Amino acid sequence: MRAGFRALLDAEDGIEVVGEAADGERGLALVRAQVPDIALIDVQMPVMTGIEATRRIAADPAPAAVRVVILTNYALDEYVFEALRAGASGFLLKDTEPADLLQAIEVVARGGALLSPSVTRTLVGEFVARPPDRATAPGLETLTPREREVTALAARGLTNEEIAAHMVISPFTAKTHISHAMTKLGARDRAQLVVFAYESGLVRARTA
């Protein structure tokens, strides 16, 4: 599978594969040595899991700018939320079509989060039904009422345009509110904002 991904990516103009590893520990060492723009990491790997590798990448000042995309076998893998919480920018299914994989890499490289509204709704609906833990999500008090509202709506899977329509504001204003919220909370991207919203209790996942 790694060979297939590498062949696909190497054939694409503007993309260079700087290395590959068979386990999480080697992958982490490679990321630290090469500091790539993006790391595609399997959620389950020998020696060190993809989640732990992601957590260490996000916590290390040197490779902290590396954006992690988690690869998983199942759309509703129970580990996906933990991966996002650890610092991943999103996730892809291993059987993703080549064109979709390339587009996803472009999205993440531009600073976007690989977490579509439909994925957000499914993910939080199935795996985030847990009591809020405000100790792990400080910063709620720094948000203005408007910023709290847009954060909650983003966590429910609404796009900027849908948020704008709901709040009767322009999409640009909605985007500005989200950007301000991300800055205050230290969120790397929209995916991290979604995690914060659920961990802080700002929104609750359905339990049935």
Distance separating alpha carbons of residues 34 and 15, to the nearest angstrom: 14
pTM of the predicted model as reported, rounded to 2 decimal places: 0.67
pLDDT digits (tens, 9 = 90+) for 3-45: 888 999 989 888 999 999 999 999 999 999 999 999 999 888 8
Q: Give the pLDDT confidence score for residue 173 in this predicted structure.
A: 93
- Helix axis angle for 160-167 and 145-155, nearest 10°, is 130
Q: Give the pLDDT confidence score for residue 208 in this predicted structure.
A: 43
3 state DSSP class of 42: strand
Q: Give the pLDDT confidence score for residue 114 in this predicted structure.
A: 65
pLDDT digits (tens, 9 = 90+) for 91-130: 777 777 888 888 888 878 877 666 655 555 555 555 455 5
3 state DSSP class of 11: coil
3 state DSSP class of 68: strand
